[in-house]
Amino acid sequence: MAFLAITALSLAFTKDLFASVMLTGIYSLLSAAFFVLMDAVDVAFTEAAVGAGISTILMVTTLTMTGRYENRKLHHPVIALSVVVVTGVMLVIGTMDMPAFGSDMAPAQVHVGPYYIMQSGEDIDIPNVVTSVLASYRGFDTFGEVVVVFTAVIGVLALLEFSRKDNQVGERPAPMFQHKILRIVSKILIPPIMLFALYVQFHGEYGPGGGFQAGVIFASSIILYAMLFGIEQTRKAVSMPVVKILAALGVLIYGSVGIVSMLNGGNYLNYSVLAENDITGQHVGIIIIELGVGITVATAMILIFLTFARRIGKTNSNSSTKEGTA
Amino acid sequence: MIQHLPILQVIIPLLAAPICFILKEARLVRWFVLIANAMAFVISIMLLQQVNLHGTLVYSLGGWEAPIGIEYRIDELNAYLLILVTSISTITLMAAGKSLTKEIPESKITYFYIAYMLCLTGLLGIVATGDAFNVFVFLEISSLASYTMIAMGNDRRSLWASYQYLIMGTIGATFILIGIGLMYMMTGTLNLYDLAERLPEVEHTKTVFTAFAFFLVGVCLKLALFPLHLWLPNAYAYAPSIATVFLAATATKVAIYVLLRFIFSVYGFEFSFTHLPLTEILVSLGLLGVIAASIVAIYQTNVKRLFAYSSVSQIGYMILGIGVGTKTGLTATMLHLFNHALMKSAIFLALAGVVYRVGSVNIKAFAGLGRQMPWTMAAIVVGGLSLIGVPLTVGFVSKWYLVLALLESNMWPVAVLVLVGSLLAIAYIWRIVEVAYFKPALQNNQAYKEAPLAILIPAWIFVIANIYFGIDTSFTAGVSEKTAELLFGGVR
């Protein structure tokens, strides 16, 4: 906790944007550790993969476009500060009547929580309760989250994608072309990363993990490739139209599971009707929707990174057009 | 299939979005989107019928009963809003084909339609669901999609406007999430109706107060209550016209719905109005909004921005109605919610026509348009009269109910100020009328033709609705009274 506070404070004071990006990465990693302490392994996993991994990469990419240092402030953020103080005070007041930390009588522990823990074995029969809540009990929320990711992709593509015409940026040598060691090591590393992603994907029912984390890990292997061998090279290996279709397909897979269960006479996203046996049905449903999640998240991250990174080539080649980061 | 209607309402536009992404071809996508929208509209009408026949509809997602799973719960209030959102989005889309070709590069049109569908999905999801966290998830969908739509405007400033909205909207969403988190902590449930049952037990804890406060501020940011409205004028002014029509008519209304749900159905009238000085807060902020935003509107030179400020002031009226805390007040709010959507759709669609022909919405460009584009300008004028609250338009009906509610609760000074607000509305509408009808056309201008029918017809559908519902109030007033009663009866 102390580390968290220190990181947050130094984050607020630093003027070097690059340092602040690194600090947010550290912040995420620390909070991931914190989540592990709280026994929330799945959350920690996600935080480590998304917060410390992907979002740091994306922010660094942005920085290469905008420049490293903050502009000098023109006004004193008095209003902002007072809003923050009021919010903080409110939060502290709010904590005063909270149930004691770790209390087993806390409302969150005695209402639906126990049901999930006690019944999940019987209803769904997979060891990881978090997965059963995410994928089945509250499966529709997870579907919503996938759609949020999809929406983000649409936003990025809509604003930053080039049309075919101004595509002639010209091939630039990969930024790290000269680092032979890096290239060889990463070539060795990329296949295991992908394999690990698949493991996380299909092992989500038994251990921490699932579609979200797997998708991010898979995407990071592609992004690593792109950083070392250049964007154009990656675009040759990974066809953009296919990736786009896959991004949409992931959402459709998830959604159509719901439709199928509706056609089989159950409610939307009721996996029990997918097979003869309720529990098998649940398993089938969860595996398929996790696959949908994984596909959309992975392709979404790849798409966002590649469109961002292409922008660098563009801004470097004609630096007169300065684009705001949207 | 009848029992699946509640989920189909949300799922059809949702699945349409990724399909559009695969279809790609803008013309194909356009028709596809229109069909999906029309289907959603039909479903919403069927839903209202079902609700009238069988009472509240409950649909458990995944087959898990609430509070274990997520449920959709449609009562009269939701059904009414679903119809409002889907009908406006369908009619607006009819104009989209023409209007977008002028305002967005061709390669981006498909993306715009996808964002539009996603935004619609988000709004419908918020309205249909009976689960607090689900509200948040769909709020994120609709917000992200609307940032995208706004940023696609052809003015460079649209990027900045979208960024402003993104920051403010994210703060709002975070506040809402903190509120929901605290509620969960105190009750152990996320289902709205379960929450309503379990909150009274912990009613007096400070944590519940904090949760309520955070939630309230978050939602008020989203619905642009004065003084949290700063994102709205730019966002509306620089977004593509179609996005402006859609967002102005639906997004803020859905936020008001969320506010009503939580104040009345979840926390209950008792908690909101007796433990907290909600009446004072809402009435004073609402009034400030009405007066201040109207005054600012008078000085705008960008007509879209002018009407955006007028939206802020109209939201003030709705908040006033809630603040009064009586059944009549709530009826007024519900009425105005519906009526304001009609007025603003008519006006912004007509403005889309002006943008199409003239290419500018600066007030100077309006000179002489009254003769060159008579139908378009007439639509704006009727919408404007409705904003002022002239009899025989919908604006009059809702103002009437609002003033009635205020007089009932002996708040006559407030009622007087509401009428002052109407006078201010006359001032800003008159500026446009004066320029359009009494100034000669600019010399160097070629004569502009009337806006294309594809835009004019949808705009006039709204105009006629403005007049029709202004004369025959049985449907709107009836439904509004019913929903107000429902909210006061509480689900408890």
Mutate to test the interface with A, among B206, B214, B216, B276 (most CBs of A within 10 A): B206
Per DSSP, the residues of B113-176 read HHHHHHHHHHHHHHHHB-BHHHHHHHHHHHHHHHHHHHHTSSSTHHHHHHHHHHHHHHHHHHHH
- For B23-64, the pLDDT digits (tens) are 888 888 889 999 999 999 999 999 988 888 888 888 888 778
Within 8 A of A110 by CB-CB distance, chain B residues are: 188
Measured CA to CA, the distance from residue B309 to residue A247 in angstroms comes to 39
Q: Do B184 and A108 touch (CB under 8 A)?
A: yes
Which comes out higher in pLDDT, residue A103 or B30? B30
Q: Do A159 and B4 touch (CB under 8 A)?
A: no
- pLDDT at residue B127 in the model: 92
Q: Residue A268 is nearest to which of B61, B145, B147, comparing CB atoms? A: B61
CB half-sphere exposure, B343, CA atoms < 13 A: 30
List the domain boundaries for chain B. 1-275, 277-492
Residues in chain B: 492
Residue B107 burial by CB count (10 A; 0-12/13-18/19+): exposed, middle or buried?
A: middle
List the domain boundaries for chain A. 1-98, 128-326
- For A119-173, the pLDDT digits (tens) are 777 777 777 777 777 778 888 888 888 898 899 888 888 888 765 444 444 445 5
- Band (pLDDT 50/70/90 cuts) for residue A256 is confident
Within 8 A of A303 by CB-CB distance, chain B residues are: none
CB pairs under 8 A between A and B: 187
**CB of A77 closer than 8 Å to CB of A32:** no
Measured CA to CA, the distance from residue B193 to residue B74 in angstroms comes to 12
Q: Which residue from B minimizes the CA distance to A148?
A: B141
Q: Do B112 and A158 touch (CB under 8 A)?
A: yes
Measured CA to CA, the distance from residue B299 to residue A230 in angstroms comes to 53
With CA atoms as reference, report the closest residue to B24 among A222, A215, A154.
A154
What residue ranges of chain B have pLDDT lower than 50? 491-492
**Tokens representing residue B42 in the block:** 């039909």
CB half-sphere exposure, B269, CA atoms < 13 A: 16
Three-state SS at A105: coil
The topology under which CATH files domain A1-98 is Four Helix Bundle (Hemerythrin (Met), subunit A) (1.20.120)
**Start-to-end CA span in chain A (Å):** 33
Within 8 A of B70 by CB-CB distance, chain A residues are: 138, 140-141
B:202-231 residues touching chain A, CB 8 A cutoff: 202, 205-211, 213-214
Contact partners, residue A20, CB within 8 Å, separation at least 6: A11, A14
- For B447-484, the pLDDT digits (tens) are 778 888 888 899 999 999 988 988 888 888 888 888 88
Measured CA to CA, the distance from residue B324 to residue B273 in angstroms comes to 10
- pLDDT at residue A122 in the model: 73
Within 8 A of B133 by CB-CB distance, chain A residues are: 138, 141
Task: Report the percentage of chain A scoring pLDDT > 70.
Answer: 81
**CB of B188 closer than 8 Å to CB of A107:** yes
Q: B71 has which bridge partners?
A: B60
Helices (H) and strands (E) in chain A, counts: 14, 0
Q: Do B140 and A157 touch (CB under 8 A)?
A: no
Contact partners, residue B407, CB within 8 Å, separation at least 6: B415
Mutate to test the interface with A, among B24, B25, B70, B163 (most CBs of A within 10 A): B70
pTM of the model: 0.88
Contact partners, residue B409, CB within 8 Å, separation at least 6: B324, B325, B326, B329
- pLDDT at residue A105 in the model: 65
Measured CA to CA, the distance from residue B220 to residue B275 in angstroms comes to 19
Q: Residue B138 is nearest to which of A98, A144, A272, comparing CB atoms? A: A144
Q: B131 has which bridge partners?
A: B191
Cα–chain-centroid distance for residue B453? Answer: 25
With CA atoms as reference, report the closest residue to B480 among B316, B322, B280, B265.
B322
Strand residues in A28-176 grouped as ranges (E): none
Least Cα separation, residue B166 to chain A (angstroms): 9
CA B384 vs CA B340, B367, B394, B395: distances in Å: 11, 17, 11, 9
- pLDDT at residue A190 in the model: 84
Count of beta carbons in the 10 Å neighbourhood of residue A73: 8
- pLDDT at residue A174 in the model: 52
- Cβ-count burial A94-111 (b if 16+ within 10 Å, e if not): beeebbeeeeeebbbeeb
**CB of B294 closer than 8 Å to CB of B313:** yes
ipTM of the complex: 0.85
Q: Do A248 and B18 touch (CB under 8 A)?
A: yes
- For A37-87, the pLDDT digits (tens) are 777 777 788 788 777 777 887 787 777 777 666 665 555 667 777 777 887
Amino acid code (one letter) for A303: L
- pLDDT at residue A166 in the model: 46
* pLDDT at residue A118 tops 60: yes
B:158-187 residues touching chain A, CB 8 A cutoff: 159-160, 162-163, 178, 182, 184-187
